[in-house]
Amino acid sequence: MRGRMPAALALVLLLSACGEPEISLEELRQQAEDGVCVLSVDADVEAGRDTWMRFYEATQAEEDAEVTLVSWYSGDPFGVSRQDRFYTYHLSFTDGVYTLTAEGAEGETVSEQYAHLLRFEEEPDVDSGARYQKVIACVLTDDADLTWREVIGNMGRSPVDGPLYIRERIVYSEYIDASEAEQP
C-alpha cells in the first residue's frame, strides 16, 4: 500500500489544482473506501477511518508512516459564488517528525513540520446547541501539552496575534451524533 500513496497523491493533487473538481465526490469516497486516502466532507471524516487508524497507530508506535488526506468542501449553501472544492494533503511521519505537505497556489509545494500528533475525544458544552454528541480530532502541534480548549480558542487567530496564537493544525475531525454513538 505504501507505494500506492504517492501515485494517488499526485493524481489527486493534479486534479485539485484545476479550479473546480475534476473528480467527483463519489470517486473520492471510493478511493477512501479502497484505502487510498482519508476523505473529510465539510470538515467531518466520511470515509477512510481504517486508513487513518493504521497511520495513527503506526505513528504512536514510532513507526514511519504516511497518509493522504482529502478535504472536500461543498458549495456555498446560499449559492453565493463558491463551488465545490477539494484540497489534498500528504501527511508523513519519519524519524519522529510529522510533515504535512500540499501544493500551493502556483504549483509550489508547501510543507509544515510538527513534533506531535495529539488525539482528542470531546463532548460539546451542554448549552452549545451542537448537533453532535462527540468529536474525535487529531491535531498537529509542537506543544505536547496543548488542550482541546486551546485549539478551539485558537481558531481564527493568526501569527500576528502574537502570544495568543498557537501553531497547530487539525488534520482529522469526526463528529459523532447521538445515533452513531449508541451503536454497539
- From 81, 114, 147, the end of a domain falls on 114
Does residue 110 sit in the same domain as residue 149? no
- pLDDT > 70? residue 21: no
**110/138 same-domain check:** no
What residues form DSSP beta bridges with 141?
116, 168
At 88, is the pLDDT very low, low, confident or very high (cuts 50, 70, 90)? very high
Residues 103 and 130 grouped into a single domain: no
- CA-closest candidate to residue 174, choices 62, 77, 56: 56
127 and 77 part of one domain: no
Q: Are residues 47 and 13 in the same domain?
A: yes
Classify 20 as helix, strand or coil: coil
- Contact between 103 and 70 (Cβ < 8 Å): no
- Coil, helix or strand for 85? strand
Identify the pLDDT of residue 77. Answer: 52
What's the full length of the chain, in residues? 184
Q: What is the rounded average pLDDT of the residues 78-100?
A: 83
Give tens-digit pLDDT for 110-132. 999 999 999 999 887 666 666 77
Region 90-115 average pLDDT: 91
Residues 105 and 126 in one domain: no
> At which of 63, 95, 114 does a domain end?
114
The number of folded domains in the chain is 2
More confident residue, 14 or 178: 178
Q: Is the pLDDT of residue 27 over 90?
A: yes
Q: Do both 91 and 168 map to the same domain? A: no
Tens-digit pLDDT profile for residues 130-146: 677 788 999 999 999 99
**Where is the domain boundary, 89, 114, 139?**
114
Of 45-59, 71-85, 118-132, the range with the highest mean pLDDT is 45-59
Same domain, 63 and 134: no
Q: Which band of pLDDT confidence, cut at 50, 70 and 90, is reported for residue 82?
A: low
Same domain assignment for residues 108 and 125:
no
Asked if 141 and 170 sit in the same domain, the reply is yes
Please report, for residues 101, 147, 168, the alpha-carbon distance to residue 112 in angstroms, rounded to integers and kept in the order given.
Answer: 7, 21, 10
Q: What is the DSSP letter of 49?
A: H
Highest mean pLDDT among 65-69, 106-110, 124-128: 65-69
Task: Judge contact between 96 and 88, C-beta under 8 A.
Answer: no
**pLDDT, the chain, mean:** 80
Are the CB atoms for 121 and 148 separated by under 8 Å? no
- Residue-number span of the structural domain to which 122 is assigned: 116-184
Query: What φ, ψ does residue 147 adopt, rounded to 5°?
Result: -105, 160
Shared-domain flag, residues 139 and 51: no
Question: Both 121 and 108 in a single domain?
Answer: no
> For the residues 16-38, what does the mean pLDDT come to?
79
Count of alpha carbons within 13 angstroms of residue 182, beta-carbon side: 4
Task: Give this prediction's pTM.
Answer: 0.76
